[in-house]
């Protein structure tokens, strides 16, 4: 398999965690988002929207969208499971993963911030407030969901799931942007626990070949 | 089951289509997003982020996030399938669904537009350009993915899937905002085909009890 990724892209980071949890490897291709490599014609042939991650499977099938890629890995390599078998537990995992993937990340990703800066010409202060607003709204809701999920060491239970694959990169982003996370004690506890896990360590931005 | 929905909410619309495709019914509770009912304390007890849709299942379990809800319905009521059994076809469906759910919808939904208007005080013209930009980027990419998926009557093949549950509400939004859709012929063809299907008709905004 081949993975097109950027070390600091949180959607790439999700897939890297999932691969590591399943013990899978993929040849790494760094796509430098800061230099706009994702918008090249060559990359758009892989990802029509011009993004990372992109996975090319062993048969040469290309696919985009981190949650679709992780679901595909789950179909082909079901163990260890990243989605619980119990339908309600599974829904809890997907609820947290989708809250992060739909209600937090898209608002604060690079292409959105670029539009705000270049077209609306917002100030650095306005950008910081925008970023912190969506982190506060989103992680506040994640905290409530996590508290409802009990007191396992991971988001939902005692084993890492897709929810943790999404949580850790989002918290890493929030930390990088100096967001205050003190209002989310359960989230913070899960995050720290994940960081001790070898798969989460292997997938971390600073361990990637394209780290800047 | 009970469904908290707003007639014009495209994420609610996705779940309404899925319910109708599976022949399931849920008691309808209208949450008026224009009047801010989603931000009430009562509603936040159901949806911590203050959104729709919310599903309460027959056992009283509450869940949010349209894609998590539809996956839950798929687990409990697998037929008709909204996710193909073949892993690659399934990935194609999830790729389109997630592209719409992550890369298009969050940028143009009500709470995002409210922030831009209230905090950045953008003009109506700027809002229109923002809206059209994400539609163009997103639906342009969907069109490429659809063309790669062959020439079935629905997004992926000859039966409706989760991809169609996401496509139709997003196209409906784009039409409501007068976006130019002439560059997406395959998307348009699938959209028109879906509109002829009784489940898509039943789920349409104008058929909901809270239509304004």
A168-178: buried (b, 16+ CB within 10 Å) or exposed (e) per residue? bbbbbbbeeee
pTM: 0.98
Write out chain A residues lying below 8 Å of B69, CB-based. Answer: 91
Please, what is the average pLDDT of chain B? 98
Q: How far apart are CA B140 and CA B119, in angstroms?
A: 29
Return the bridge partners of B63, or none. B55
A143-160: buried (b, 16+ CB within 10 Å) or exposed (e) per residue? bbbbeebeeebbbbbeeb
Which residue of chain A has the CA closest to B44?
Answer: A141
A85 near B CB under 8 A: no
Kindly indicate whether the ipTM for this predicted assembly is greater than 0.85, answering yes or no: yes
pLDDT digits (tens, 9 = 90+) for B41-84: 999 999 999 999 999 999 999 999 999 999 999 999 999 999 99
pLDDT digits (tens, 9 = 90+) for B161-178: 999 999 999 999 999 999
pLDDT in tens, chain B (212 residues): 999 999 999 999 999 999 999 999 999 999 999 999 999 999 999 999 999 999 999 999 999 999 999 999 999 999 999 999 999 999 999 999 999 999 999 999 999 999 999 999 999 999 999 999 999 999 999 999 999 999 999 999 999 999 999 999 999 999 999 999 999 999 999 999 999 999 999 999 999 999 99
Q: Is A18 exposed, middle or buried (0-12, 13-18, 19+ CB in 10 A)?
A: buried
Q: Is A166 exposed, middle or buried (0-12, 13-18, 19+ CB in 10 A)?
A: buried
Write out chain B residues lying below 8 Å of A68, CB-based. Answer: 91, 94-95, 97-98
Write out chain B residues lying below 8 Å of A94, CB-based. Answer: 65, 67-68, 71-72
Chain CA centroid to CA B179, Å: 17
pLDDT in tens, chain A (212 residues): 999 999 999 999 999 999 999 999 999 999 999 999 999 999 999 999 999 999 999 999 999 999 999 999 999 999 999 999 999 999 999 999 999 999 999 999 999 999 999 999 999 999 999 999 999 999 999 999 999 999 999 999 999 999 999 999 999 999 999 999 999 999 999 999 999 999 999 999 999 999 99
Q: Which of A6, A54, A8 is nearest to A31 (CA)?
A: A6
Asked whether the beta carbons of residue A87 and residue B95 sit closer than 8 angstroms, the reply is no
Total beta-carbon pairs less than 8 A apart between chain A and chain B: 127
Q: How far is A158 from chain B, CA to nearest CA, in Å? A: 21
| The token pair that represents B130 in the structure block | 């923002």
A76 near B CB under 8 A: yes
What is the number of H-type helices and E-type strands within chain B? 10, 4
Per the listing, tokens 């990637």 go with A208
Give the dihedral sign, CA A171/A175/A180/A183: positive
């Amino acid at each position: 398999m081949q993975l097109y990724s950027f070390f600091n892209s949180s959607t790439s980071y999700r897939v890297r965690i999932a691969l590591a949890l399943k013990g899978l490897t993929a040849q790494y291709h760094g796509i430098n988002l800061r230099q706009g490599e994702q918008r090249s014609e060559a990359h758009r042939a892989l990802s029509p929207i011009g993004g990372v991650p992109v996975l090319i499977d062993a048969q040469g099938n290309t696919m985009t969208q981190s949650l679709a890629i992780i679901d595909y890995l789950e179909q082909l390599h079901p163990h260890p499971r990243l989605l619980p078998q119990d339908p309600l537990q599974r829904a809890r995992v997907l609820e947290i993963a989708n809250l992060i993937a739909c209600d937090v990340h898209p608002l604060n990703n690079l292409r959105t911030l670029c539009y705000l800066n270049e077209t609306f010409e917002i100030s650095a202060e306005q950008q910081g407030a925008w970023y912190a607003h969506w982190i506060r709204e989103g992680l506040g809701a994640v905290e409530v969901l996590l508290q409802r999920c009990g007191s396992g060491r991971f988001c939902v239970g005692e084993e890492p799931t897709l929810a943790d694959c999404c949580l850790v990169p989002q918290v890493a982003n929030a930390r990088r942007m100096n967001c205050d996370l003190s209002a989310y004690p359960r989230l913070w506890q899960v995050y720290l626990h994940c960081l001790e896990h070898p798969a989460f360590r292997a997938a971390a931005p600073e361990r990637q070949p394209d780290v800047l």
